[in-house]
Structure 1
Amino acid sequence: MEERRKGRRLDLTGEIIIKELGGDAEAVDIKITDASTEGLGFISDKQLVIGDNYEANLTIWTKEVLHVFVQIVRAEKRDDGFHYGGMFVGMPEDVKVRIKVFETVEEEKAKQN
């Protein structure tokens, strides 16, 4: 598979709740598999539409909740659910900085190991 990521991917523990825009708000828990300042990968049992935008509340390592918008760019159905790749849409700079700080901390941890 061709590598299309612009930023280093980070493994986050936490979850996000996605709500479809323009429709009924249905909160769906998902498992984050990786994240960067550009986007995230996650697993869900709900089928989402490639190209659609979703509102998300992302819980980061500090237990802080980041309000973001995600556009689904890739989807794959597997035995454990639907695996998605999404790009952040219109992410504020302060939110990008919070993710970048985590990226820096993880890089320093990796150097020490």
Structure 2
Amino acid sequence: MQQDRRKTKRTDMPSKLVIKRLDGQKGNEVTINIMDVSKNGIGFDCAEPLQIGEVYEAYLTIWTKEVIHAFLQIVRIELKGGTYGYGAIFIGMPEMDSARIEVYQTVNDN
């Protein structure tokens, strides 16, 4: 059994995320499916190959339909059939935005 190394609790969030590369070469956006989210990061599936260690700009739509602008650094990649599973941490997320994710977790658990 794999040990969970997460620092904070993760929650499923029914949302989509649009990511674009910060390398300046590509401006295409990719829609991904979020599997879980915490105030520190997210887990998601995506058909496009992303690079581990790279930082991507993201727009996360939360349960209130508000959009959180965030930067993600890919820390884990797993091949899942014809798609990829990723783990990413938030880079420089304002405390107000991470607090909104924590509120969602609290409401979702009750």
Q: Which of 41, 48, 53 pairs up with 1:39?
A: 41
SS at match of 1:98: helix
Where does residue 54 of structure 1 map in the other structure? 56
TM-score (norm 2): 0.94
Q: Which of 83, 89, 100 pairs up with 2:102?
A: 100
Provide the C-alpha distance between the structure 2 equivalents of 1:96 and 1:25, rounded to a whole number of angstroms. 27
Equivalent positions of 1:1-113 (< 5 A) are 1-23=2-24, 24-108=26-110
Provide the C-alpha distance between the structure 2 equivalents of 1:25 and 1:70, rounded to a whole number of angstroms. 16
Question: Which deviates more from structure 2 when the two are superposed, residues 76-85 or residues 32-41?
Answer: 76-85
Q: Structure 2: which amino acid aligns with 1:4?
A: R
Q: Structure 2: which amino acid aligns with 1:86?
A: A
Where does residue 111 of structure 1 map in the other structure? none
Provide the C-alpha distance between the structure 2 equivalents of 1:26 and 1:94, rounded to a whole number of angstroms. 28
SS at match of 2:39: coil
Q: Structure 1: which amino acid aligns with 2:28?
A: E
Aligned length: 108
Give the C-alpha shift of residue 26 in structure 1: 1.3
Identity %: 46
Which consecutive aligned stretches of 4+ in structure 1 deviate over 6 angstroms post-superposition? none
Q: Structure 2: which amino acid aligns with 1:45?
A: A
Give the C-alpha shift of residue 22 in structure 1: 2.1
Provide the C-alpha distance between the structure 2 equivalents of 1:31 and 1:38, rounded to a whole number of angstroms. 17
Give the C-alpha shift of residue 78 in structure 1: 1.2
Stretches of structure 1 lacking an aligned partner (at least 5 in a row): 109-113
TM-score (norm 1): 0.92
Give the C-alpha shift of residue 59 in structure 1: 0.7
